[in-house]
Amino acid sequence: MTIGFIGDIVGKPGRDIIAKYLPNLKSEFNIDFVIANYENASHGFGLSVKNADELFTCGIDMMTGGNHSFDKKEVISLFDTHSIIRPLNYPQAMPGSGILRTAILDREVAVINLMGHYAMPMVDNPFTVITETIQQLLLEGIKHIIIDMHAEATSEKQVLLHLLKDKVSAILGTHTHIGTDDLSIVDGCCYVTDVGLSGCRDGVIGMDSKAPIKRFLTGIGEYFDVPKHCKSILQLIVFTLDDKGRCIEAKKIKLYDTDERIITQAFMENDI
C-alpha cells in the first residue's frame, strides 16, 4: 500500500494548494490513503466544520491534530462524524480518540497521533503511553502502524524512532512547520523529523512576518495572522509499505504554486 502524509496545513493558502494539486498527486503516485495534520487549517488555529468538509473533499482520507486541536470547539462534533483524531496522550477525559483503525487494501492499519512534552501543553508521558499502545496493537496482529509525532523538540522525535523503529511502519514529525532533510527508511520504518507546512512559504511558519518580527524586536506579542496572499508550498511524504508493514520506499514531494516541484528520495538506513 502507498500512503501520502501532509504535515501542518496552515490556513486558506494551505487548503487552496492542497485542493489544486492533491487529486492529481494521488493519481500520479498511486496513493491509496492520505493523512494530513489539521491543527492549523482554519486561519492558523484549529479546524472548523466547514474547512474539514473542504479538506476531505480534496482527497484527504483522515486527519491528525496537535496542541491546537481544540482551538475551535466545533471540532468536538467532528470526532463523531469525520475520520479525525487528536493526540493520544491528552487526558482520557478529552473528547475524541488518539488512534484511528481502518482498512487499506484489505490490511488493518492503525494511525496514531502523539504529542511531545517540550514547550507543549500538559499531557501524559508520550513514550510510556505509546509503548503500551503499540504492544497492544502488535498483540492484536496489527502490523501497519503509522504515527504522527507532533512535537517541538527534535530529540523527542528521534527518541521515538529508536524506541519503535522495529515495531511501527512510519514516524512522521509535525508541529515546527519547517521541513527537515532527514527523510529515511530506518530498519523498515519511514522516518522524518518534520514534514513541513503546507501553506505560505514566504512568511514565518506560514504566518505574516509582521507580528513575529515585532515580538522578537520588542518582546511584545501580537496575534499571528495568515496572509491572504502569499507564495505557497505543498509538502507531501509518499511511502510504500509491504504486507508485513515495513516501509520499502519513500519520497518527499515539495510542490510550489508555480508548478515547480522537488522530489527527494529517502535514504535507506539499516542497523543503526
C-alpha cell at 159: 527518541
Ramachandran quadrant class, 51 (left: phi over 0; alpha: psi -120 to 50; beta: rest): alpha
Considering only CA atoms, which of 4, 15, 29 is closest in space to residue 58?
15
C-alpha cell at 232: 505557497
Considering only CA atoms, which of 188, 191, 174 is closest in space to residue 235?
174
Are residues 156 and 126 in contact, defined by beta-carbon separation less than 8 angstroms?
Answer: yes
Ramachandran quadrant class, 61 (left: phi over 0; alpha: psi -120 to 50; beta: rest): alpha
Determine which one of 68, 82, 144, 150 is catalytic.
68
Are residues 56 and 19 in contact, defined by beta-carbon separation less than 8 angstroms?
Answer: no
43 annotated active-site:
no
Phi, psi of 127 (to 5 degrees): -80, -40
Q: Give the C-alpha distances (Å, rounded to integers) separating 172 from 74, 80, 141, 203, 262.
A: 26, 25, 22, 23, 19
Q: Are strands 144-150 and 107-115 parallel, antiparallel or unpaired?
A: parallel
Point out the residues that are catalytic.
68
